[in-house]
Structure 1
């Protein structure tokens, strides 16, 4: 028996297929659904070797957090699985079988001088939440930390973090990065990544509610951001730090918070560049204006797709609406690149660039900087080295002209963009 699944985190695993995170003493592969992902304190068990995630939204925060477990993961739409049997999982190819699968050769870390087949330089950074994840990323060839998720810095007693705690956690990331740049996203809270120290304030738990810089109107959140900035100010003279403003929609917000950062840290743009996230269509369409006041911009593709397609990223019932192959999505991104003026000032964050085959379209559109999960670095680097950008540009144009997502899928299925 062989099943075709969607690759999510590459790697291979072998073990018994079980429901949920069962505390069993033999190697096993667990099947999780959206309900089991809501369990408090979800964590890998000692003999867990891989995951199959069924009927869940790929962009949901609980699903994305699984990528930090360092295990092979695939996504599945069906539940007709060989329960209780010994299975082999190839999460790079999206295959689950009850007979052994061939083992592919191990991939080396991403090279320091990563280029496409026709010599275009590409920068692969890593998105992390801890010093441990940063060390893994650098070992896998990351050229820096493109996103440090500061909202996951929480005191052991659940209280709001202070400057000392931020400094300790950020220092660990900077030391792991070994002189490469580290970009810190300031506090960014959403409904299902609500820190224990933050009360249920009006609008904070709502989809498209009070998040990112909108949250800083509340005194407690503003105090935590001030603590972050104090920690950054202490470390910036020693490490190449950058700041990202989350969930911006207007130029005025960027202007206000760039000024706040300057006043709080006493550091100018040369010593502490401040960038802005582009997570809403309003921000993305204003990229030219925002880059007049921000040093760089990072597309937060997970939230951007949620807004663009009007579908809650955490709701499995509308997961199909968040289509990684939508021609509209690529037309939109082509507009952003065109109006950014300089693609080197743009960074792509989120799952989109890590979805199977999509990196080719993004290279064809002109993107050259990507921040991804550490486990994906060798796989993306291997794909990038085979891409001819001129041919990828033709493929991207065809994707933008397509009428249906199925046409984009067909383009990627027959894609031949090697040199």
Structure 2
């Protein structure tokens, strides 16, 4: 039967009828203002407040990464500069809907032109404008349709507010026309354990009520399946659920080769869920949450309290903490430069910290003090490291301030090209596949127009991973993976075949990755890795590995 193809998120399988998401509201007309300006301004103010409140409630309900995204959207709805523009237009005789549309569109264009994190925010700003206009019209905002029965949701793409609060009792799976493996939709779907396929270019061909099978492992949407195909899909789904309910075991390959499975966390409050899902430790703890909402860097005592809470959740286990990674998509007024034309290539990560060494010293001091009072095995790494000199600087400073195990992140291709020297200077290396892919492919990871390039399956990226893996093996030092790539079960096997010694991922992906690892020996993983590296493209690498896996 006909199949549509895209990038699968996870290993889930689902079958059911399609329900399409409504297209965005049409552009408001330019008819003149009816009534007085004061009333129009008041109605806009009420609409903005209602939307901000709704987004805030959605964030509270969603929690985790989704809460931060939705709270940022709520702030957009109350941006005073946008409101001033709306008021100005109303005073000039523009109707409220058009004024809102124009004001938000102007800001969208500015953000889109900036690219990077700000470019991604342009799409979120558009979603906020849609919600405000819907409020003014007295209609439901475009979003996930309601249904009394479960369905497969098909959409051009989803706003963060929609993805965060999907009713998993009703939404069996998600299929989007746009987006790539590191898009907001893919990341949030992976974090919530939603069966999904993104980047299905032919998704518009699907119609309401049409029965389909969504096979994320194969990245395929099977249209109008036979009864036998449906039965097979249901069997696969049952087997996956049974595997997820099985007793938790340590990550390992079929031949017993240990592959510790760690969690990526953004706050100490996420630790309990990670432990419950079988995390054997933490492979990436993002410390930015302490800094993003503050006009200045928190003091040592404040930082120490948070780090201690994290470490106490993992007694005797490895916890890898990333030093503050500011800049690019996470600008901080007290640390990073403003007005950079391309902040992803500017003063970010360790570069920014070296420019303000007191902030780095305070953070390392707080981590060392928290480590001294807890029983976890603390490892600390520097972000955005480019060469050996930067490696030596960070490791030396960390050791001076009491950090026992200090390493660096491999996100810049130059680190892979200098792998032997970098690994000689560090205690370990952790590969951030999101940024490594971005810089290898010269494709902004937050820019939707180049999402197709932002694929960690690309052989160019995998060859850099292989160089780091080989250098780590020679030096007998750990080479971990802490980017989104580790959440892809089959890619996780390939990464182990390339020399990765640990895998860190969103906790919801742990079960699928653990199950997939058990299907392959180390020799088989190496053979799959060789097939992927020899391929000419990301898509070809996926196909080559799928064929080799089926044949083994």
Class of the TM-score when normalised by the shorter of the 2 chains? 0.7 to 0.9
Q: Which runs of 5+ in 2 are unaligned?
A: 23-126, 128-141
Question: 1:414 is paired with a residue of what secondary structure?
Answer: helix
Q: Distance in 2 between matches of 1:23 and 1:5?
A: 21
Q: Distance in 2 between matches of 1:61 and 1:192?
A: 13
Stretch moving more, 234-243 or 126-135: 126-135
Please tell me whether residue 80 in structure 1 is matched to residue 197 in structure 2: no
Number of aligned residue pairs: 409
Of 197, 219, 232, the residue aligned with 2:367 is 232
Q: Tell me the alpha carbon deviations over residues 190-219 of structure 1, each in whole angstroms, 9 at most, x when there is no partner.
A: 433335766652538622222110111443
Of 170, 187, 191, the residue aligned with 1:64 is 187
Stretch moving more, 13-22 or 316-325: 13-22
Of 4, 18, 23, the residue aligned with 2:21 is 18
Counterpart mapping for 1:137-148 below 5 A: 137-148=274-285
Q: Distance in 2 between matches of 1:29 and 1:158?
A: 43
Q: Alpha carbons of 1:416 and 1:30: their partners in 2 closer, same or farther (altered >3 Å)?
A: closer
| Contact 1:61 1:192 survives alignment (8 Å) | no
Query: 1:5: how far off?
Result: 4.2
| Contact 1:313 1:319 survives alignment (8 Å) | yes
TM-score (structure 1 length as normaliser): 0.82
Of 484, 488, 505, the residue aligned with 1:355 is 488
Q: Tell me the alpha carbon deviations over residues 315-374 of structure 1, each in whole angstroms, 9 at most, x when there is no partner.
A: 222222334443333333333222331465111221223335222322322323111111
Q: Distance in 1 between matches of 2:155 and 2:363?
A: 35
Counterpart residue number, 1:322 = 454
Q: Distance in 1 between matches of 2:442 and 2:251?
A: 36
Q: Distance in 2 between matches of 1:110 and 1:330?
A: 32
Q: Tell me the alpha carbon deviations over residues 133-192 of structure 1, each in whole angstroms, 9 at most, x when there is no partner.
A: 322222222210000011133476665433344333333322332431111100112433
Counterpart residue number, 1:104 = 238
Counterpart residue number, 1:201 = 338
Query: 1:126: how far off?
Result: 1.2
Please tell me whether residue 339 in structure 1 is matched to residue 477 in structure 2: no
Of 391, 406, 414, the residue aligned with 1:274 is 406
Stretch moving more, 77-86 or 174-183: 77-86
Stretch moving more, 143-152 or 284-293: 284-293
| Contact 1:364 1:394 survives alignment (8 Å) | yes
Query: 1:130: how far off?
Result: 1.8
Counterpart residue number, 2:440 = 308
| Contact 1:23 1:45 survives alignment (8 Å) | no
Greater fraction helix: 2
TM-score (structure 2 length as normaliser): 0.64
Q: Which runs of 5+ in 1 are unaligned?
A: none
Q: Distance in 2 between matches of 1:4 and 1:80?
A: 12
Counterpart residue number, 2:56 = none
Q: Alpha carbons of 1:23 and 1:360: their partners in 2 closer, same or farther (altered >3 Å)?
A: closer
| Contact 2:386 2:415 survives alignment (8 Å) | yes
| Contact 1:110 1:142 survives alignment (8 Å) | no
Q: Distance in 2 between matches of 1:197 and 1:28?
A: 47
Q: Alpha carbons of 1:76 and 1:286: their partners in 2 closer, same or farther (altered >3 Å)?
A: same
**Root-mean-square deviation over aligned CA pairs:** 3.7
Query: 1:42: how far off?
Result: 8.1
Of 496, 499, 504, the residue aligned with 1:366 is 499
Q: Alpha carbons of 1:386 and 1:189: their partners in 2 closer, same or farther (altered >3 Å)?
A: same
Question: 1:177 is paired with a residue of what secondary structure?
Answer: coil
Q: Alpha carbons of 1:415 and 1:179: their partners in 2 closer, same or farther (altered >3 Å)?
A: same
Stretch moving more, 171-180 or 299-308: 171-180
Whichever of the two has the greater Rg, that structure is 2
| Contact 2:5 2:200 survives alignment (8 Å) | no
Q: Distance in 2 between matches of 1:313 and 1:155?
A: 20
